[in-house]
Amino acid sequence: MIRLTHIVLSLIISASTHALAVEPNVDWKLTDIDGNHHEPFEEKSTRGLVLIFISTDCPIANGYQPLIQRLASDYRKDGMRIFMIHSSPRLSIEEARKHAIEFGISTPVVIDTDQSIARRVGATVTPQAFVFVPNQTHLVYQGRIDNMYAGYGKKRKVATTHDLADALESVVAGRPIKNAETIAVGCFISYAE
């Protein structure tokens, strides 16, 4: 019951967050669970940075992993850099590694133990995606992966919109994103006080 309350609350919070403004992306520095340091916008080939918030125990986020990994593979050649972000102060590197193996996560995984990344972008649920492009001081997309979930516990047989893929395609093509903000449905990110 507590978990369901958190999820419902997260949907309300997500629905009330409409501004895409966040700190500039010029100094994104990420360290993954293997100790590798990443500065995506230092690479000239990077056309976009995608942060996707996940958790080890969210069935919705875990269910999206095959699609997310396919998108990461498909768009890597186009300069899109996708990172999985665990925003949990209690998650160990060993638990994150086990989770990555179990769900076939091949993209870099970052543990946001102080939740600074989540706070910086305003993440509220898992899964939730945030897309940045070079030389921008704001997000170009934030929200769901697709519309497979109409609400918590309301799963469609098939997604009818592919919001993250459409956003990535727009970035690669240099076009504005038609639907730059969508409401992500998933498991609530619990922030430490």
pLDDT score, position 22: 52
Residue 80, domain member (yes or no): yes
Q: Report yes or no on 139 lying in a domain.
A: yes
Task: Determine the pLDDT at residue 45.
Answer: 93
CA 140, CA 26: separation in Å to the nearest integer?
14
Domain encompassing residue 167: 2-188
Tracing tokens 């995984």 back to the chain, one arrives at 109
pLDDT, residue 153, reads 79
Q: What is the pLDDT of residue 82?
A: 98
pLDDT value, residue 34: 96
Q: Is residue 31 part of a domain?
A: yes
For residue 112, tell me if it sits in a domain.
yes
One-letter amino acid for residue 134 of the chain: P
Q: Which amino acid makes up residue 116?
A: S
Backbone angles phi, psi at 37, to 5 degrees: -95, 135
Q: State phi, psi for 84 to the nearest 5 degrees.
A: -90, 130
Q: Any idea what the CATH number is for the domain that residue 97 is in?
A: 3.40.30.10
* SS3 assignment, position 176: coil
Report pLDDT for 192.
Answer: 83
DSSP 3-state of 30: strand
C-alpha span between 48 and 114 (Å, rounded): 24
Residue 117 lies in a domain: yes
User: What pLDDT score does 20 carry?
Assistant: 55
d(CA 75, CA 175): 16
Does residue 120 lie in a domain region? yes
> What parts of the chain have a pLDDT lower than 70?
1-26, 137
The answer as to whether 193 is a domain residue is no
140 in a structural domain: yes
Kindly give the pairing relationship between strand 30-31 and strand 37-38.
antiparallel
Question: What is the domain count for the chain?
Answer: 1
